[in-house]
């Protein structure tokens, strides 16, 4: 991770196809494009790789979450349960449709705690949205039972975990809907882009229309298409999709490299008594994009993170103080700061997160360091990095 580390001739060839046709838009201009439909090609590849009936490409991972929620009829005043540890896009997508983000604690998986989810359910809850952070997954089996019991949608945010699996199913395909990001720093990239996968034909149709101003895409005359319902513009371009067409074909190679490098790092740290690793649920297989581990306490984790940087071990993250990925720094959400007026449902229903007790999350995230696993490392670089990490971390017992 990320896929841009290994850009090559296949990406160039796919993009050149689009430039040669001159058609950069995914819809219309049938006669000009020489039968090049890169978005459709990538959607077909995603359905095969992700073992799903349908895929819908959109402009970003954030757009994917927004469109997925809208496609399932989630809207104003509906509550969506999400974790305290995630990227800000999680609550942005929920707020974008007037729904209410309900933050709950994470556990030793660094993802949604099923116990916390169960306690947060109200008569307004519509969706449980686990976020498979840093390449590994939530306890999807437990969450599925909760969703089935309470008649809730299970929406997987697999933006950071494409290629991982749970009980033999690709991440994103276990729930009712799954979302991916193909931004510049993801395991496979389009530069900018995202996708929704589902086995529900209605959700697919809704996502297709909603992401393109409500166009029904019937026939081959774009100007004659009708608008069954309101939509917005979350389209991906053919140029971005073309990059993705090349990258999806390389996903399994990328995963193999990540696993090899991850294993070298983990094997080096495993003998250290002061280090424990994040829990991967039984039946889960990571995509190996990050190695995440716990130090004995918050003070040592923070100091170890600094020491790793000083030792030249880059791309390690201490999420507890991170502006974008942990609830503690989300003042704009807590204070409801917006350029315009928020929907009244949001004003009335959004919890006062400045008063919330997320100490259970703090106990895990405060001890966590996550180290990015790069695709471009040589074998010598991985071994050297492993040695440096072990030397630094052994001092924080």
What pLDDT digit, counting tens, does each position of 31-81 carry? 999 899 999 999 999 999 999 999 999 999 999 999 999 999 999 999 999
Q: How many residues does this entry show for the chain? A: 397
Q: Are 376 and 314 in contact (CB under 8 A)?
A: no
Q: How far is CA 165 from the centre of its chain?
A: 14
* Helices assigned H by DSSP within the chain: 9-21, 38-49, 61-71, 89-96, 114-120, 140-150, 201-210, 238-248, 251-269, 298-310, 331-334, 344-349, 359-365, 379-393
DSSP code for 6? G
Enter the tokens of residue 198. Answer: 């589902």
Q: What is the largest CA-CA distance in the chain?
A: 69
Question: How far is the first Cα of the chain from the last one, in angstroms, to the nearest whole number?
Answer: 30
Of the candidates 272, 258, 227, 283, which has an alpha carbon nearest to the alpha carbon of residue 371?
A: 258
Q: Which residues pair with 81 in a beta bridge?
A: 102, 128
Give CA–CA dist 339/323, Å, rounded: 20
pLDDT of residue 268: 98
Neighbours of 197 (CB within 10 A): 30
For the chain, give the mean pLDDT.
97
Residues of the chain with pLDDT under 50: none
Enter the tokens of residue 336. Answer: 């409801």
The pTM of this model reads 0.97
Helix 238-248, helix 9-21: angle, nearest 10: 150
Q: Which residues pair with 194 in a beta bridge?
A: 58, 181
Which stretch of DSSP H or E encloses residue 81? Answer: strand 79-83
Angle at the Cα of 140 from the Cα atoms of 105 and 119, rounded to 5 degrees: 40
The phi, psi pair for 383, rounded to 5°, reads -65, -45
pLDDT of residue 397: 87
Q: How far is CA 64 from the centre of its chain?
A: 10
Of the candidates 226, 235, 173, 176, which has an alpha carbon nearest to the alpha carbon of residue 200?
A: 176
160-180 as b/e: b if 16+ CB within 10 A: bbbbbbbeebbbbbbbbbbbb
Active-site residue among 144, 186, 300, 328? 186
Q: How far is CA 162 from CA 1, 50, 171, 187, 287, in A?
A: 11, 9, 7, 7, 7
Q: Are 210 and 272 in contact (CB under 8 A)?
A: no
Q: pLDDT of 245-291, one tens digit each?
A: 999 999 999 999 999 999 999 999 999 999 999 999 999 999 999 99
Q: What residues does each domain of the chain span? A: 3-250, 252-393
Give CA–CA dist 214/352, Å, rounded: 35
pLDDT of residue 1: 83
Domain spanning 3-250, CATH class: alpha beta
Give CA–CA dist 197/217, Å, rounded: 19
Q: Is the peptide bond before 2 cis (omega within 30 degrees of 0)?
A: yes
The reply to whether 186 belongs to the active site is: yes
Enter the tokens of residue 5. Answer: 């580390």
Give CA–CA dist 169/175, Å, rounded: 10
Give CA–CA dist 66/234, Å, rounded: 9
Give me the CATH code for the 252-393 domain, please: 3.90.1150.10
pLDDT of residue 212: 98
According to DSSP, the β-strands at 316-317 and 368-372 are antiparallel
Enter the tokens of residue 371. Answer: 């180290």
């Amino acid at each position: 991770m990320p896929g841009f580390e290994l850009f090559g001739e296949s990406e160039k060839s796919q993009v050149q196809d689009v430039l040669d046709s001159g058609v950069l838009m995914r819809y219309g201009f049938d006669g000009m494009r020489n039968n090049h439909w890169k978005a459709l090609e990538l959607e077909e590849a995603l359905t095969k790789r992700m073992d799903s009936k349908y895929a819908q490409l959109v402009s970003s991972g954030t757009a994917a979450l927004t469109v997925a929620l809208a496609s399932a009829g989630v809207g104003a005043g509906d509550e969506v349960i999400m974790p305290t540890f995630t990227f800000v896009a999680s609550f942005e997508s929920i707020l974008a449709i007037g729904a209410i983000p309900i933050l709950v604690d994470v556990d030793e998986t660094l993802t949604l705690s099923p116990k916390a989810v169960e306690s947060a359910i109200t008569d307004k809850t519509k969706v449980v949205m686990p976020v498979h952070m840093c390449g590994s997954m939530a306890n999807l089996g437990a969450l599925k039972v909760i969703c089935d019991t309470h008649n809730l949608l299970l929406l997987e945010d697999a933006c950071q975990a494409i290629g991982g699996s749970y009980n033999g199913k690709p991440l994103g395909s276990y729930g009712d809907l799954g979302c991916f990001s193909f931004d510049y720093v993801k395991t496979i990239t389009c530069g900018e882009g995202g996708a929704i996968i589902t086995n529900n034909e209605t959700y697919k149709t809704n996502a297709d229309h909603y992401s393109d101003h409500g166009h029904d895409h019937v026939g081959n005359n774009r100007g004659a298409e009708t608008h069954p319902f309101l939509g917005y513009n979350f389209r991906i371009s053919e140029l971005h999709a073309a990059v993705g067409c090349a990258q999806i074909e390389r996903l399994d190679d990328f995963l193999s490299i990540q696993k090899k490098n991850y294993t070298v790092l983990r094997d080096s740290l495993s003998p250290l008594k002061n280090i424990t690793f994040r829990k991967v649920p039984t039946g889960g297989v990571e995509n190996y994009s990050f190695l995440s581990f716990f130090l004995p306490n918050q003070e040592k984790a923070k100091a170890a993170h600094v020491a790793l940087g000083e030792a030249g071990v880059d791309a390690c993250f201490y999420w507890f103080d991170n502006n974008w990925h942990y609830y503690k720094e989300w003042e704009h959400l807590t204070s409801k700061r917006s350029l315009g007026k928020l929907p009244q449902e949001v004003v009335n229903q959004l919890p006062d997160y400045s008063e919330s007790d997320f100490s259970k999350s703090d106990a895990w995230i405060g001890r966590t360091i996550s180290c990015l696993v790069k695709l471009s490392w040589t074998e010598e670089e991985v071994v050297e990095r492993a040695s440096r990490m072990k030397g630094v971390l052994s001092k924080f017992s």
